[in-house]
């Protein structure tokens, strides 16, 4: 007896006896002469049709129940499908309480509705497909970097630094500390946080491996109820040593495969473009202000609904690690954001400040010199020009799949006021 996944059964070239297929029932249609079932085990978008004698009907054989069907794989008489399973026995492995099951038969449920059931929504076709694509995209990203000579680094989840300095850290404490904060010292002796970015650890590794990447969960206590923010999201980050210009980060090999070059504009140009349309914005654009989502979307539209790199942002807007452009009164750093249609910011990156005196004085002004001794060390022991970027993986999926809400491209979304399961 051969056990087949639904995908294998559907794709079989030849009829076969003595097979067993397991899955969940997607529909039951009982006729006088014959019982039809559609089953799926998540290996395929298409269901496998099971044809059975009505005597095999059983009151537990309902939509949503888990079954094991044993029988013969035969050519289907229907033009639309290749193979079907002629059942000899059907065993209900786990019945489904259809009365209380929230994802009823065949109904096309809106994504907002199935979002209420994070433990069940993966059985919905749309969600199921999105999650399978997510899995494929994860593998493709890993292969891309590995194939291009990047070393994968597991950067830590728990860290004692705040890479972005944006005050969006989740602090970690043990339950002991929470109960007796006064008497206890920190578990790690120092305050520890969930990471907001693996960048600083990647910079360490780029100092040995030249090209490195990481692809892991990052955490931000952003109190933002939006369709593009999560408190826990995955970030693809790359760091490249011996990189002297933003072009190297923007183009690299990534762009060679694309038909059209992305547009590149400076922050200064972006602000000029936005000012021309000042009246359309809630938040009035000014030199020195951070670009709001409404601004980002406008810029993308202005450039013809294509991805747009915005480079050289104001010094005072950006984190301490970005490289000083030393460019006069409108002081900027070598930062780059990639804005894409429908989403806004997809990637953020920069050249890093590799010059010891510049970095030292910036950290001193921020009172961070002690905390970042190790980071300064990297500028003392064989410092090289380097840079990198981070791409929000969920925003990437939203972009390529046209998904409105970021909560629908991650299996278990975490956001402010919600941590289900």
Q: Which residues bind ligand 4AD (CB under 6 A)?
A: 163-164, 197, 199, 220, 222, 229-230, 233, 235, 237, 345-349, 388-392, 394-395
Picked from ligand 4AD, Mg ion, none, the partner binding residue 294 (CB below 5 to 8 A depending on kind) is none
Closer by beta carbon to ligand 4AD, 124 or else 398: 398
Taking the complex as a whole, the smallest distance from the CB of residue 163 to Mg ion amounts, in Å, to 11
Closer by beta carbon to ligand 4AD, 27 or else 293: 293
Taking the complex as a whole, the smallest distance from the CB of residue 218 to ligand 4AD amounts, in Å, to 7
Strand-by-strand arrangement of the 232-241 sheet: 151-152, 211-219, 232-241, 386-392, 344-351, 332-340, 308-314, 263-266
- Of 266, 252, 258, 244, the closest CA to residue 323 belongs to 244
Of residues 348, 387, 388, 392, which one binds Mg ion by CB under 5 A? 348
* 390 touches Mg ion by CB under 5 A: no
Of 86-94, 153-161, 314-322, 346-354: span binding Mg ion (CB under 5 A): 346-354
Picked from ligand 4AD, Mg ion, none, the partner binding residue 49 (CB below 5 to 8 A depending on kind) is none
CB 270, CB 312: distance < 8 Å:
no
Taking the complex as a whole, the smallest distance from the CB of residue 197 to ligand 4AD amounts, in Å, to 3
Closer by beta carbon to ligand 4AD, 10 or else 205: 205
Closer by beta carbon to Mg ion, 23 or else 349: 349
Taking the complex as a whole, the smallest distance from the CB of residue 199 to ligand 4AD amounts, in Å, to 4
Taking the complex as a whole, the smallest distance from the CB of residue 396 to ligand 4AD amounts, in Å, to 8
Cα–chain-centroid distance for residue 64?
Answer: 29
Closer by beta carbon to Mg ion, 64 or else 348: 348
Closer by beta carbon to ligand 4AD, 61 or else 250: 250
Taking the complex as a whole, the smallest distance from the CB of residue 61 to ligand 4AD amounts, in Å, to 43
How many residues sit in the footprint of Mg ion (CB under 5 A)?
A: 1
Taking the complex as a whole, the smallest distance from the CB of residue 337 to Mg ion amounts, in Å, to 6
CB 355, CB 322: distance < 8 Å:
no
Closer by beta carbon to Mg ion, 41 or else 164: 164
Question: Rounded to an integer, what distance in angstroms lies between the CA atom of residue 240 and that of residue 388?
Answer: 6
Picked from Mg ion, ligand 4AD, none, the partner binding residue 8 (CB below 5 to 8 A depending on kind) is none
Taking the complex as a whole, the smallest distance from the CB of residue 203 to ligand 4AD amounts, in Å, to 9
Closer by beta carbon to ligand 4AD, 64 or else 344: 344
Nearest residue to the partner Mg ion, using Cβ? 348
Q: Which residues bind Mg ion (CB under 5 A)?
A: 348
């Amino acid at each position: 007896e051969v056990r087949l996944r639904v995908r294998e059964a559907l794709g079989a070239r030849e009829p076969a006896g003595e097979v067993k297929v397991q899955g969940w029932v997607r529909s039951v249609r009982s006729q006088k002469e014959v019982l039809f079932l559609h089953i799926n085990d998540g290996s395929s978008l298409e269901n496998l049709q099971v044809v059975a004698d009505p005597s095999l009907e059983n009151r537990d054989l309902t939509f949503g129940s888990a079954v094991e069907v044993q029988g013969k794989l035969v050519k289907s008489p229907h033009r639309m499908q290749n193979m079907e399973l002629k059942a000899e026995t059907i065993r209900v492995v786990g019945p489904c309480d259809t009365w209380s099951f929230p994802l009823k038969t065949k109904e096309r449920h809106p994504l907002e509705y199935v979002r209420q059931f994070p433990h069940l929504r993966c059985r919905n076709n749309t969600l199921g497909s999105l999650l399978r694509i997510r899995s494929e995209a994860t593998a493709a990203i890993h292969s891309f970097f590995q194939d291009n000579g990047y070393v994968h680094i597991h950067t830590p989840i728990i860290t004692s630094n705040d890479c972005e300095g944006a005050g969006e850290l989740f602090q970690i404490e043990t339950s002991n500390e929470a109960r007796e904060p006064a008497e206890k010292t920190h578990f790690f002796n120092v305050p520890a946080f969930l990471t907001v970015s693996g960048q600083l650890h990647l910079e360490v590794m780029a100092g040995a491996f030249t090209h490195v990447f990481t692809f892991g969960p990052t955490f931000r206590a952003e109190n933002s109820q939006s369709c593009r923010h999560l408190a826990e999201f995955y970030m693809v980050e790359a760091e490249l040593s011996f990189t002297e210009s933003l072009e190297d980060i923007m183009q690299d090999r990534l762009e060679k495969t694309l038909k059209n070059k992305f547009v590149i504009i400076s922050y200064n140009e972006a602000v000029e473009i936005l000012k021309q349309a000042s009246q359309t914005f809630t938040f009035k654009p000014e030199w020195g202000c951070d670009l709001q989502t409404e601004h980002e979307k406008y810029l993308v539209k202005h450039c013809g609904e294509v991805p747009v790199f915005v480079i050289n942002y104001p010094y005072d807007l950006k984190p301490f690690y970005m490289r000083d452009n030393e460019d006069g009164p409108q002081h900027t750093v070598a930062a780059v954001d990639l804005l894409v249609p429908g989403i806004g910011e997809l990637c953020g990156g920069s050249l890093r400040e590799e010059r010891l005196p510049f970095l030292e004085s910036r950290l001193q002004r921020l009172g961070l010199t002690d905390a970042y001794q190790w980071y300064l060390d990297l500028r003392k022991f064989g410092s090289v020009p380097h840079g990198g970027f981070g791409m929000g993986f969920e925003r990437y999926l939203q972009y390529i799949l046209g998904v409105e809400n970021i909560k629908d491209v991650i299996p278990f979304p975490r956001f402010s006021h919600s941590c289900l399961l």
